[in-house]
Amino acid sequence: MTQSSDRISCPKCQASNFANSAVCWQCGQPLSGPDAQTASNQPVGPTPPPPPTPSFEPARPTYAAKPQNYLVWSILTTLFCCLPAGIVSIVYAAQVDSRYASGDYAAALDASNKARTWAWVSFGVGLAVSLIYGVFAFLAVVIGNMK
């Protein structure tokens, strides 16, 4: 017979209580007997299903749509904006169709991006030239009216 069998320490104030007492005599903390501790077994439930195996996308060839060749934009910017950059854009735009026809989708997409970039360059240069020309024309008119 051990002395600790009929004694239980309060989890709140560590006071020694009788094992059959419901609450702590010192602080009133509800005491849970040793039966309540051991009775809380793990709930026996259905085992959860194993996580689904991650399905990776197989690297199969996908028939992606043909990237835009921006041919119209490159021709328009060549005519109305900047001739050299527009010609570069037209060259890349022409490569989009040929590269896509040969099955090299990555190269076709690369040519498409370059055609778009050069079309924007041509547009930007043409816009800048137009603005500078407009500024000089405006100054010419102003100076002409000052006389």
Query: Which residues of the chain form contacts with Zn ion (CB under 5 A)?
Result: 10, 12-13, 15, 24, 26-27, 29
User: Nearer Cβ to Zn ion, position 23 or 64?
Assistant: 23
CB of 36 to Zn ion, least distance (A): 17
7, β-bridge pairs: 18
What is d(CA 125, CA 132) in angstroms, rounded to the nearest whole number? 10
Give the N- to C-terminal CA distance of the chain in Å, as an integer: 124
CB of 22 to Zn ion, least distance (A): 12
User: Nearer Cβ to Zn ion, position 9 or 102?
Assistant: 9
CB of 10 to Zn ion, least distance (A): 3
Do residues 99 and 108 lie in contact, with contact meaning Cβ atoms separated by under 8 Å? yes
User: Nearer Cβ to Zn ion, position 23 or 72?
Assistant: 23
What is d(CA 116, CA 96) in angstroms, rounded to the nearest whole number? 11
